[in-house]
Structure 1
Amino acid sequence: MSIQSTVARGDLRAYEESVRLATPELVERLRDLLGAKLVAYLGSVGETRAVRQWADAHDGRTPSTEVVNRLRMAYRIAALLREKDSAAVVQAWFQGMNPRLDDVAPARLLREAELDEVGPQILAAARAFAAGG
């Protein structure tokens, strides 16, 4: 089995999970993969307390639709990368300057740019990284 087909299967699985998860479970899994501080950064909030509240299904607090969409994309990417690497590597990938993204950190693009524009670029960079290139 080729590396490309393995990555494609992992990408499909990550996509399906990202759209099926309820927001609290999505936030909880993303927090487990990336840590509360990075999820708070991606969600444009200043405190990890908001992330805890989003993950608590009984709290009733949810992020905006725009933030949920960004978190879904972040989860899809993190889950894809986690199939090949440790959580520490995934966190470093999100935070590091990425040469495939004009030396901008994927987390920064996810937070600051239009998701429709940068989402496919970040996903392509993640696929390339997962494939070992």
Structure 2
Amino acid sequence: MPSDTASSVARSVASAQRAHVTTVRMQISDIARFLQDNLGQRLTARIANISDPKQVGKWASGDTMPRPESEQRLRAALQVFQLIQDAESLYTARAWMIGMNPQLDDEAPAQCIADGRWRDVMVAARAYVDGG
């Protein structure tokens, strides 16, 4: 394996590990606030698979807690967002989350997370970070 490829893979693994640790350590209110600030309240609600965007604000303020299924989706979205942001930028991460993705049959990663396909989204995110 050429050293360029080895160092690229090492950076990718390190980015994935940082994204995982960040996601695990954050409280759900902080995750909801981050996603609301960076993706908007409506898109965050869609990711969480809920119909009332105002609920995201309640989660972000710590007034209420999401159901476990919504929390899983929010944590998955944050982990993917952090992985892309670490490799690229905040703006690229946002665009990646809302844009059509050829590895996801041209669906947006945010919608795929809402549909419960967060593993597929993480695979696509890692491929993107790895340059594929």
For the aligned pair, the TM-score class normalised by the smaller chain equals 0.7 to 0.9
Q: Is the 8 A contact 2:109 2:121 kept in 1?
A: yes
From the superposition, tell whether residues 19 and 90 of structure 1 become closer, same or farther in structure 2 (CA, over 3 Å): same
Alignment of 1:25 with 2:22, yes or no, is: no
Instruction: Give the residue type in structure 2 aligned to 1:124.
Output: V
SS at structure 1 position matched to 2:57: helix
Q: Is the 8 A contact 1:34 1:90 kept in 2?
A: no
Alignment of 1:76 with 2:75, yes or no, is: no
Aligned equivalent of 1:102, options 102, 105, 112: 105
Corresponding residue of 2:130: 131
Query: Displacement, 1:95?
Result: 1.6
CA distance in 2, matches of 1:40, 1:86: 23
5+ residue gaps, structure 1, are none
Instruction: Give the residue type in structure 2 aligned to 1:76.
Output: Q
SS at structure 2 position matched to 1:83: helix
5+ residue gaps, structure 2, are 1-5
Corresponding residue of 2:3: none
Superposed CA offset, 1:41-84 (max 9, x none): 11223443211110112x2x111100000110100000000112
Aligned equivalent of 1:11, options 8, 16, 29: 16
Alignment of 1:40 with 2:45, yes or no, is: yes
Superposed CA offset, 1:8-47 (max 9, x none): 1111111112122111011112223323232121122344
Alignment of 1:111 with 2:114, yes or no, is: yes
- Pair member with larger Rg: 2
Amino-acid identity (%) = 32
Corresponding residue of 2:120: 121
